[in-house]
Amino acid sequence: MSDTVIRVENLGKKYILGHQRQERYTALRDVMANGARSLGRKLLKPVGKKVSDPVVEEFWALKDVSFEIKRGDRVGIIGRNGAGKSTLLKILSRITEPTQGRISIKGRVASLLEVGTGFHPELTGRENIYLNGAILGMSKAEIKKKFDEIVDFAVVERFLDTPVKRYSSGMYVRLAFAVAAHLEPEILVVDEVLAVGDAQFQKKCLGKMQDVAEQGRTVFFVSHNMQAISTLTQRCLMLSKGQCVYQGATEGGIAVYLSEGCNEEMIYTDVPSSVEPRITRVELHTSEPSNTQIHGELMEVKFEISTPIPINGAALSFQVYDSLQQPVLHILILDSELPMCREPGVFHLVCRIPKLRIYIGRYYLKVHFAERATGKKIQTLDNLCPFEVVAYGKYRDGYWSPNTAKYVEEAEWEASKVWK
């Protein structure tokens, strides 16, 4: 028997968009004039002539998406706003019909797509628990068995007999997630709605989704929080403009997702200002071509600063960020250590890291420029010079593998045998 619980083949979803021909602001007199002209055109139109169609456009929210999901997989779906993530989840949840392609699902699906989905506002929390359970195909006895767990998890005991239309958005989400996760669906689909809850509840939800996955059930999770995606999922799909541009290990998908917002050039440039200091060039030199840095080899970062005024105590620093947007390295130089920008002009600085010992993975730079005497932050540049750290020829079984570390330090070992 196959372990595939979801199979999607050439899935597509098309919408027809209507556009107004007139984009500018329209006053009441314009509406009246346009109406009169339209009526006149209709009266003067020859009999039998077809009236021109309004301006319409075909928009494919999804196009030719194909993938397979196995039982027990924890799958993240990532992508920028408008990539098609929510459309895909609605199709998987049988809320929306696809325009083309095939989708087959084995098992019961519980979905949490947006605040209030699946709840009747006039019913109480208690009644909605039983209603949602019935929709999922649960018997009354099965729902009753899980009822106390759901209420405890959602922390809504005091408001259980209050119509949910009076709930706050946080209470809504807590109860909706508790119902979806505790009624034992084979497939749990969760959209970005967890962002509504507080940090403690989000952590609680992630733990529950982890438990669901460990019980052999399948979890689909959409989020812009890459740390949550990394923690919860083992595989991910990345959507871009309605198409699936990546399928595979979560770490690789996150790297692709974050690189979309990066300047892929190894050189950042800007024009000088006649008014204020400005970083006019940042240049990264990796040990290998194509943004590749070998672990333990030399890496250089070069800067050019143009200033029309003297700076009292200049400070320049840069951070190296990983694919989860976490800083892993910070290097700072002060005017007191290396005189710079004490008078107007153009200044060049070079930072050499003789042996870069950051762990394998994808990284980028964030640069800060400030005047320490006044505490003024002059400039911050983000998402610069993305690069990849690799470990060619240094493979050790069980050592160079994703998410093992952020940094590898040089160390000396000693072993001795004590004879008894």
For residue 417, give both structure tokens: 């045998």
Of 28-37, 57-66, 199-208, give the lowest mean pLDDT range: 28-37
Q: What is the pLDDT of residue 1?
A: 46
Mean pLDDT to the nearest integer, 82-91: 89
From CA 23, how far away is CA 45, in angstroms rounded?
26
- Domain end, chosen from 226, 259, 292, is at 259
Of 35-44, 298-307, 375-384, give the lowest mean pLDDT range: 35-44
Q: What is the pLDDT of residue 252?
A: 81
List the beta bridge partners of residue 238: 78, 246
Residue in this structure with the two tokens 């069980």, named with its chain if needed: 398
Is 165 among the domain residues? yes
With bands split at pLDDT 50, 70 and 90, how would you rate the model's confidence at 406? confident
| CATH number of the domain to which 360 belongs | 2.70.50.60
The better pLDDT of the pair 92, 21 is held by 92
Is 9 among the domain residues? no
Please tell me whether residues 126 and 243 are part of one structural domain. Answer: yes
DSSP assignment of 335-382, as one string? Answer: TTTS--SSSSEEEEEEEEESS--BPSEEEEEEEEEEETTTTEEEEEEE
Mean pLDDT to the nearest integer, 328-349: 95
Name the most confidently modeled range: 19-23, 134-138, 335-339.
335-339
Q: Which residues lie closer than 8 Å to 176 by C-beta, 6 or more apart? A: 112, 115, 116, 117, 118, 119, 132, 193
Buried b (16+ CB within 10 A) or exposed e, 12-36: bbeeeeeeeeeeeeeeeeeeeeeee
Q: What is the pLDDT of residue 19?
A: 60
In the sheet that holds 361-371, the strands lie side by side as: 292-294, 376-390, 361-371, 314-322, 327-334
Q: Whole-number mean pLDDT of the chain?
A: 83
The better pLDDT of the pair 64, 404 is held by 64
Mean pLDDT to the nearest integer, 67-92: 89
The better pLDDT of the pair 29, 25 is held by 29
Please tell me whether residues 203 and 350 are part of one structural domain. Answer: no
pLDDT at 214 over 90: no
Name the most confidently modeled range: 193-207, 216-230, 276-290, 399-413.
276-290
Is 17 among the domain residues? no
Please tell me whether residues 122 and 153 are part of one structural domain. Answer: yes
In the sheet that holds 235-240, the strands lie side by side as: 109-112, 187-190, 218-222, 74-78, 235-240, 243-249
Is 232 among the domain residues? yes
Q: What is the pLDDT of residue 3?
A: 84
pLDDT tens readout for residues 224-238: 777 678 777 889 999
Please tell me whether residues 119 and 240 are part of one structural domain. Answer: yes
Mean pLDDT to the nearest integer, 120-144: 86
Q: Which residues lie closer than 8 Å to 135 by C-beta, 6 or more apart? A: 118
Mean pLDDT to the nearest integer, 146-150: 90
| CATH number of the domain to which 90 belongs | 3.40.50.300
Please tell me whether residues 272 and 254 are part of one structural domain. Answer: no
Please tell me whether residues 231 and 309 are part of one structural domain. Answer: no
Please tell me whether residues 160 and 251 are part of one structural domain. Answer: yes
Is 48 among the domain residues? no
Q: What is the pLDDT of residue 16?
A: 85
Please tell me whether residues 130 and 241 are part of one structural domain. Answer: yes
pLDDT at 101 over 90: yes
Mean pLDDT to the nearest integer, 312-341: 93
Look up the domain containing 353 and give its range. 267-390
Q: What is the pLDDT of residue 44?
A: 62
Three-state DSSP class for 187? strand
Please tell me whether residues 174 and 76 are part of one structural domain. Answer: yes
Please tell me whether residues 275 and 205 are part of one structural domain. Answer: no
pTM of the model: 0.61
Q: What is the pLDDT of residue 100?
A: 93
Is 244 among the domain residues? yes
Is 179 among the domain residues? yes
pLDDT at 250 over 80: yes
Three-state DSSP class for 404? coil
Mean pLDDT to the nearest integer, 257-276: 79
Please tell me whether residues 288 and 253 are part of one structural domain. Answer: no
Q: What is the pLDDT of residue 395?
A: 53
Query: Between the CA atoms of 252, 254, 255 and 261, what dihedral angle is there, to the nearest 10 degrees?
Result: 150
Please tell me whether residues 228 and 331 are part of one structural domain. Answer: no
Of 52-61, 231-240, 364-373, give the lowest mean pLDDT range: 52-61
Other CB atoms within a 10 A radius of the CB of residue 327 amount to: 11
The better pLDDT of the pair 38, 362 is held by 362
pLDDT at 398 over 90: no
Domain total in the chain: 2
The better pLDDT of the pair 244, 176 is held by 244
Q: What is the pLDDT of residue 253?
A: 84
Name the most confidently modeled range: 136-140, 153-157, 170-174, 225-229.
153-157
Is 398 among the domain residues? no
